[in-house]
Amino acid sequence: MREDLGEPLAGRYRHLTLIGRGGMGAVWRAWDSGLDRTVAVKELRLPEHVGADERRVFLRPDGP
């Protein structure tokens, strides 16, 4: 992720700034237009051993 300069993430999160990063991913501060407040958004890091087909399942917007 990066500083939001265009379309909102998932249609609702804007102005993303990095709060912290670790072994499981990163946490971003964002404005949630649906809740009309500041929230934290967690970006999960998939394990490197996960193959391309499994990644597609993890990344599906409607879930597995």
Judge if pTM exceeds 0.75.
no
pLDDT in tens, the chain (64 residues): 555 556 888 888 988 899 999 988 999 999 999 999 999 999 888 888 888 888 888 777 665 5
Q: Give the integer Cα–Cα distance in Å for 16 and 33.
A: 12
- Cβ 27 vs Cβ 42: under 8 Å: yes
